[in-house]
Amino acid sequence: MRKMKIKTPSESETVKTEVVFPNDTNPMGILQGGHLVQWMDTTAAVCAQTHAGKICVTASIDSVNFKAPAKLGDIIIIKAKITRAFTSSMEIFVQTHARNVLSEKKNLINEAYFTFVALDNKAKPTTVPLLKPVTNDESEQYKEALTRKKKK
C-alpha cells in the first residue's frame, strides 16, 4: 500500500484576474453571469489539478450566489481554495470580487462551491492527496464540506 501524500489548502490556492470587456457584458454594461461562472470554473480547475497532480473535471457547482454586479472596466479577482479532499473528489470554494479601477472600491460579487473529480489516464476516478487544514477558517470549511457533501 502506498503512502498518501498530505497537502495544505495554501499549496494549491489559485488566484485569477480578469478585466470586464464589452464582449463580457449585457446591454446594460454588466458582466454576464455565464462569463463569470466560466472564469470561476477555470480557476477552481487549476486549484483542483494543482492539489491532485492529475487532470480533474467539474462534477458539480453548488450555492452559486450572485451578490452584486460587476461592470464594464472592473477588475475581477477570483480566488479558489480547496476546502476538503475526499477519495477522488475535492470541494473547492471560489470567492470573487470586483474592483473599480477609478475608485479602487472592491466588492464581493460571487461565491460558490465546486466539486471536482481527479481522473487517471483511462479517465476513471483516482485518489487524491489528503488535505490538512492549517487555520481556524480552513478547519471550519473542512468540517462544513462533509455536511455539504451529505446533503447532495
What is the separation of C-alpha 49 from the centre of its chain, rounded to a whole number of angstroms? 11
Judged by DSSP in three states, 27 sits in: coil
Q: Classify residue 93: in a domain, yes or no.
A: yes
| pTM score | 0.94
Asked whether 15 and 77 are in contact (CB, 8 A), the reply is: yes
pLDDT at 1 > cutoff 50: no
Whether 103 is in a domain gets the answer yes
67: domain range?
6-151
Is the residue at 99 inside a domain?
Answer: yes
CATH number of the domain where residue 20 is located: 3.10.129.10
* DSSP-derived 3-state class of residue 43: helix
Q: Residues 35-77: pLDDT tens digits? A: 999 999 999 999 999 999 999 999 999 989 899 999 999 999 9
Residue 42 burial by Cβ neighbours in a 10 Å radius (0-12, 13-18, 19+) = middle
Examine residue 1 and state whether it is found in any structural domain, yes or no: no
| pLDDT tens digits along 67-123 | 999 999 999 999 999 999 999 999 999 999 999 999 999 999 999 999 999 999 999
